[in-house]
Amino acid sequence: MALKGKVALVTGSTSGIGLGIARALAAEGADIMLNGFGDADDIEKLRAGMEKEFTIKAAYDGADLSKPDQVAALVQKTQEALGGLDILVNNAGIQFTAPVEEFPDAKWEAIISINLSAVFYGMKAAIPVMKKKKWGRIINIASAHGLVASPHKVAYVAAKHGVVGATKVAAIETANDGITVNAICPGWVLTPLVERQLQDRAKEAGTDVETEKKKMLQETQPMLTFSTPEEIGALTVFLCSDGAATMTGAPISIDGGWVAH
């Protein structure tokens, strides 16, 4: 329970990587503000279940992160509901693929808004709160695509490169305020969304999920193993620990060797 008494806001935490991170922080005793889309009853079961399982407080707010005022309000509501804000994990993200010349303007704007601008607005609102306490941890979930590119992902790659850059700036500015700011850069993570993609690929190719897993990983990763939301959560917990007190401004790869080659 190394984080008992701390309050964590994790955006995009009703499923996938964000949920893995929220659960990992809750397991260490942190109170959690959940955020994301989904069925209201399912989210309430998730929230209540987390409180019971980890004996912590958990709240939920469905702020639309494409709207700057709602991002700032989410930070404020976290403080009101849970009594403070010590850890901010900017995780929410969306994806769309198309060649640059065919990429829809609306999709570009939406991806930049949620994947990049929401990170900026979240940090802008959270940093003053953390400065008052002289303690804070900001973890921005970037991607291997924050460091390298792939075709047909112009908005996502641009946004994630921007997240890495914004992380470095915030880290430099808060270096002597008891705050660290880092970016986690995952490769392929086995989330429900990716599992559905694998099932679709297997159906189209007339193969099976295990075959498609290997093919998907071989496209980018030397290590033919998916990372898991739990592993991303464990890395997040480490970045919040005393052992990472002087780690700041770092893009940290957890990608099966993707960017090493």
Tokens read off for 255: 């990608």
- Please, are residues 22 and 54 in contact by the beta-carbon 8 Å criterion? no
- Please, are residues 185 and 255 in contact by the beta-carbon 8 Å criterion? yes
* H-type alpha helices, 148-226: 154-173, 192-205, 209-218
Active site (annotated) includes residue 156: yes
Give the largest Cα separation in the chain, rounded: 58
Beta strands in 46-148 (DSSP E): 58-61, 87-90, 136-141
Torsion from C-alpha of 182, 186, 189, 191, nearest 10 degrees? 40
How many CB atoms within 10 Å of residue 74?
Answer: 25
Separation of alpha carbons 190 and 73, rounded Å:
31
What are the distances in angstroms from CA 199 to CA 74, 152, 196, 203, 204?
35, 21, 5, 6, 9
Task: Please tell me which residue in 156, 188, 226, 258 is annotated as part of the active site.
Answer: 156
**31 phi, psi to nearest 5 deg:** -75, 145
**139 phi, psi to nearest 5 deg:** -125, 115
- Please, are residues 45 and 20 in contact by the beta-carbon 8 Å criterion? no
- Please, are residues 252 and 235 in contact by the beta-carbon 8 Å criterion? yes
Catalytic residues: 156
